Amino acid sequence: MENKRDVHVKINPYKNLVIAIILPVILGPIGLLYSSFLGSIIMLFLFFAFSLLSLVGLKLSFFYILFWMISVVWSAGSAIRYNKKINKIFIPELSAKDNAVK
């Protein structure tokens, strides 16, 4: 006799906005990996490029702070955009309301 069980697992496909903000605040461009892989690669490239330029003798400490802040904003925006995309997939009524408002 075969024993079958129905297992229902609830998966939360959304990205948490609080985590998307806290990670880049703490980790900078590496924390951006949570919400945007491509964004993290771009910001890490810029971060290390400016690090190499600072070894030459240029004073670029302002850009480190700027990249850190851009990472936080980029991460929050990516998480919001991702959650809206997921809402359109799983809740089609929301996308119909958005189109009606426009």
Number of structural domains the chain divides into: 1
> What is the predicted pLDDT for the residue at 98?
61
> What is the predicted pLDDT for the residue at 91?
78
Inside any domain, residue 65: yes
Tokens of 83: 């959650």
Name the residue type at position 92: P
> What is the predicted pLDDT for the residue at 44?
93
> What is the predicted pLDDT for the residue at 15?
92
Helix (H) or strand (E) holding 43: helix 37-56
> What is the predicted pLDDT for the residue at 26?
95
The tokens 């929301």 sit on which residue?
Answer: 94
- CA nearest to 18, candidates 67, 64, 72, 63: 72
pTM score, whole prediction: 0.75
Inside any domain, residue 50: yes
Phi-psi map region of 8: left, alpha, beta (phi>0 left; psi -120 to 50 alpha)? beta
Structural domain including 44 reads 17-77
Inside any domain, residue 3: no
> What is the predicted pLDDT for the residue at 96?
63
Inside any domain, residue 70: yes
| Block mean pLDDT (10 aa), the chain, length 102 | 66 88 94 93 91 78 86 95 88 66 58
Inside any domain, residue 32: yes
Inside any domain, residue 21: yes
